[in-house]
Amino acid sequence: MIGRLRRARRPRPAPGPAWQPTVERLAWLVGSLALVLVPHLGRVPLWAILGFALLAGWRLLAAERGRGAPSRWMVGLVSAGLLAAVFLRFGTLLGRDAGVTMLVVLAGMKLLETRGSRDAYIALFLGYFLVVTNFLYSQSIVTGLYMLVVTLVMTATLVGIAAPPGTLAVRPRLRLAAVMLLQATPIAVLLFVLVPRLPGPLWGLPKDAFGATSGLDETMSPGNITQLSLSDEVAFRVTFEGGRRPPPSELYWRGPVLWTTDGRTWGPGAVDRSPRPPAIERNGAPVDYVVTLEPHQRRWLFALDLPATVPADALISDDLQVRSVRPVRERMLYRMRSYPDARDLRLGPLQRASALELPAGAHPRTRALALQWRTETADERALVERALAYFRDEPFFYTLQPPLLEGDTVDAFLFETRRGFCEYFSAAFAVLMRAAGIPTRVVTGYQGGEYNPLGDYLIVRSRDAHAWAEVWLEGEGWVRIDPTAAVSPSRIEMGVDAAIPQRLGRAALALEPSEPVQRMWRNLRHAWDAMSTSWNRWVLGYGPATQRLLLGRLGLDADDYLAVGAVLVGAIGSVMLTIALVGFRRRRPSDAARALYDRLCARLARDGLVRAPSEGPTDFARRVARDRPALAEPVAAATRAYVALRYGFGGDLATLEREVARAMRG
């Protein structure tokens, strides 16, 4: 009994040197973190990026010169200063922008104080978390592919942190990381498909996660729609059902309706909203379509004139403006029906008064012209045509670069500059009509769109933003009048590119639609947008409704959590079993490697160098080097070859056999 106790109390071999932050390990760590920060350039303050670069460079330089990490009091002092800078910049340490900036600072600080493997793992896990933060700003295919590459590099860095120095070259390290990601992919797909989806956009995120995007506003003044027309950002996509797609001249996508004006800026009026379809006179055949609306942080939805249905969780106003009950903060899909030939015959006394109101004393020259026309033209329809003829016959020009309007903007535009964009024409026309006694309102939205034949849908972009007018004519109701069409018919028939030569369109390139370069460019754009649309629909748009539909096709009830959970556990178990079986089939080289290494250990044991059961190969090699310096180099080389082959870091059996033989001869 005493002998057994004595054997149990035999002193353990002295441990080898601890994990060291070598230049190679730190370079991989810094490089992977730098890659994940590239998309954040311009999102976080420049001083935070420069601070990260300074701290990372400091740590690399210290490692190259053989120095350790700075003292903990210095690290704490610098950390406190940087966190205080984050708080002073944002007024908080919470939220999207402040939180991401703080993570950037923490990653740099963790690099600075990296001493052991635990510090390296924490810094790398901060990098994995920073990968996720990039999706708070963009969820595009490009972002997804780039983050996949970054994750591959980070996983390769993780492999390198665990591997002994010098045992793993760049290519084997990346190959092993790729294999690990491929093995994890089926499990990730199963979790994505089967785990219950939470409704709503990125549930629980702070308010600043929903950054402002370009789009229409509730007010209109000269210049704001012009700015939108410089952007190619997608506003929404439309898929028509039943094979009917209206011609471009009928593609008026109704948005905010403006009633009030102070002489320069137009704003909304007081209207009633209801979840019930409007009471319009439905003439002609309906158009059924599905709109995929990009998030714009506001409430309005867009519908083809004139809308006859109301989507779920939406309301429609008296002036036929469709609005969501909550801000559109995620991509939204809704189904609509419209009647392009319908008539709206509703105008109450309050609406009539609002549609005739003009600011006192404003637009004297415009009022005088309208009163002259009124005395000379008794018929309201003829008066409207006379106003359109005025825009058509006088030297008005459609341009994105109008001169500055001073003083009374409407008078200056109609009688002096005569150069502008759609909001200039619609606002001036509305003032003319109101001054002539015809109720008029301004409608903003989008006009036209680009048809994508590869996906069979219409793309409406920010540059398609448009404004037009609606006048009230007795016996006809509200009638759409687009004064821009009188000045530039090509804007309505062919889109904004055809109307503005300054833009990079067919006019600027001097290319016909049938020419190869133009056709190739258009096809590439359509292919990319079709791919992005599929990504948006099946990946980003995979919500509760889509999951319920997909699981239903698989014979599962999405609400039966026990059944779905059982399928999930069974599927993951099958994947892991398959991976294990494939791994067992590839164990022969590692078994042969183990046999060769055991021979080396037996040879060293005969010389008094016994490897303890708890002693790893690398630690054993370090002890051999300390106790028998003459054997240090051959045993270390044999150990590196064994670790590389045994644990899947690369290498080959012939190299291990050669190094073991050399170590045994030593």
Listed in sequence order, the DSSP H helices in 282-399 are 349-356, 364-376, 380-393
Residue 482 is a catalytic residue? yes
Is 12's pLDDT higher than 50? no
- Name the catalytic one among 97, 408, 466, 619: 466
Is 409's pLDDT higher than 60? yes
Residue 466 is a catalytic residue? yes
For the segment 380-398, the average pLDDT, to the nearest whole number, is 93
Tokens of 591: 């078994």
- Grade residue 435 by pLDDT with cuts at 50, 70 and 90: very high
Is 337's pLDDT higher than 90? yes
Can you give the length of the chain in residues? 666
pLDDT at 534: 80
Is 249's pLDDT higher than 60? yes
User: Cα separation of 161 and 124, whole Å?
Assistant: 10
Mean pLDDT value across the chain: 83
Q: Are 221 and 402 in contact (CB under 8 A)?
A: no
Range of weakest confidence among 66-75, 361-370, 487-496: 487-496
DSSP letters spanning 506-575:
HHHHT--TTSHHHHHHHHHHHHHHHHHHHHIIIIIT--HHHHHHHHHHTT--TT-HHHHHHHHHHHHHHH
pLDDT at 549: 80
Burial 95-120 (b: 16+ CB within 10 A, else e): bbbbbbbbbbbbbbbbbbbbeeeebb
Which H or E run contains 460? strand 457-461
pLDDT at 8: 41
- Grade residue 389 by pLDDT with cuts at 50, 70 and 90: very high
Q: What are phi and psi for residue 33, nearest 5 degrees?
A: -70, -35
- Percent above pLDDT 70 for the chain: 86
Is 508's pLDDT higher than 50? no
Q: Are 274 and 316 in contact (CB under 8 A)?
A: yes
Conformational region of residue 325, where left means phi above 0, alpha means psi within -120 to 50, and beta covers everything else: alpha
Is 127's pLDDT higher than 90? yes
Helix (H), strand (E), coil (C) string for 426-450 = HHHHHHHHHHCCCCEEEEEEEECCE
- Grade residue 583 by pLDDT with cuts at 50, 70 and 90: low
Burial 66-83 (b: 16+ CB within 10 A, else e): eeebbeeeebeebbeebb
- Percent above pLDDT 90 for the chain: 35
pLDDT tens digits, 259-299: 999 998 999 988 888 888 888 899 889 999 999 998 888 89
Q: Are 115 and 127 in contact (CB under 8 A)?
A: no
pLDDT at 498: 55
User: Cα separation of 483 and 432, whole Å?
Assistant: 12
Which among 338, 351, 355 is positioned nearest to 278, based on CA atoms? 338
Residue reference for tokens 């593609």: 251
Local structure of residue 15 (DSSP, 8 states): P
pLDDT tens digits, 215-243: 677 888 876 666 656 678 889 999 999 87
Tokens of 232: 């190619």
Comparing 130 with 650, the larger pLDDT belongs to 130
User: Cα separation of 264 and 411, whole Å?
Assistant: 11
Instruction: For residue 563, list its beta bridge partners.
Output: none
Range of weakest confidence among 192-206, 387-401, 432-446: 192-206
Which H or E run contains 65? none
548-552, long-range: CB < 8 A, 24+ apart: 550/193, 551/194
User: Cα separation of 106 and 83, whole Å?
Assistant: 9
Q: What are phi and psi for residue 198, nearest 5 degrees?
A: -85, 130
For the segment 236-264, the average pLDDT, to the nearest whole number, is 91
- From residue 526, alpha-carbon distances to 174, 485, 519 in Å are 34, 27, 10
Tell the burial category of 163 from Cβ atoms under 10 Å away from its Cβ (0-12, 13-18, 19+): buried
User: Cα separation of 505 and 507, whole Å?
Assistant: 5
pLDDT at 208: 58
- Name the catalytic one among 119, 411, 464, 482: 482
pLDDT at 15: 41
pLDDT at 631: 86
Is 3's pLDDT higher than 50? no
Range of weakest confidence among 444-448, 635-639, 651-655: 651-655
Conformational region of residue 554, where left means phi above 0, alpha means psi within -120 to 50, and beta covers everything else: alpha
Residue 605, Cβ neighbours under 10 Å: how many?
A: 11
pTM of the full structure = 0.69
Residue reference for tokens 């600075």: 112
pLDDT tens digits, 86-99: 888 888 888 888 88
- Grade residue 167 by pLDDT with cuts at 50, 70 and 90: low
Q: How many CA atoms lie within 13 A of 313 on its CB side?
A: 10
Is 6's pLDDT higher than 70? no
Handedness of CA 38, 42, 44, 48 (dihedral sign): positive
User: Cα separation of 351 and 411, whole Å?
Assistant: 26
- Grade residue 210 by pLDDT with cuts at 50, 70 and 90: low
Tell the burial category of 318 from Cβ atoms under 10 Å away from its Cβ (0-12, 13-18, 19+): buried
- Grade residue 308 by pLDDT with cuts at 50, 70 and 90: very high
| Cβ neighbours for 525, distance < 8 A, ≥ 6 positions apart | none
| Cβ neighbours for 74, distance < 8 A, ≥ 6 positions apart | none
Reduced to 3 states (helix: H, G, I; strand: E, B; else coil), residue 354 is: helix
pLDDT at 224: 60
pLDDT at 582: 76
pLDDT tens digits, 532-549: 888 877 787 777 777 888
Is 145's pLDDT higher than 60? yes
| Cβ neighbours for 224, distance < 8 A, ≥ 6 positions apart | 217, 423
pLDDT at 504: 38
Longest dimension (CA), the chain: 126
pLDDT at 128: 94
Tokens of 174: 């990346």
DSSP letters spanning 377-415:
---HHHHHHHHHHHHHHS--EE-SSPPPP-SSHHHHIII
- Name the catalytic one among 408, 411, 422, 464: 422
For the segment 9-38, the average pLDDT, to the nearest whole number, is 75
Calculate the CA dihedral of residues 586, 589, 594, 595 and round it to 10 degrees. 130
User: Cα separation of 37 and 24, whole Å?
Assistant: 20
Comparing 131 with 163, the larger pLDDT belongs to 131
First to last CA, the chain: 40
Is 155's pLDDT higher than 80? yes
pLDDT at 649: 64
Comparing 587 with 59, the larger pLDDT belongs to 59
Q: How many CA atoms lie within 13 A of 158 on its CB side?
A: 20
Helix (H), strand (E), coil (C) string for 567-614 = HHHHHHHHHHHHHHHHHHHCCHHHHHHHHHHHHHHHHHHHCCCCCCCC
User: Cα separation of 244 and 358, whole Å?
Assistant: 41
Q: Are 171 and 152 in contact (CB under 8 A)?
A: no
- Domain ranges in the chain are 23-162, 511-538, 587-665
User: Cα separation of 62 and 65, whole Å?
Assistant: 5
For the segment 486-490, the average pLDDT, to the nearest whole number, is 79
DSSP letters spanning 224-264:
HHHHHTT---EEEEEEEETT----GGG-EEEEEEE-EESSS
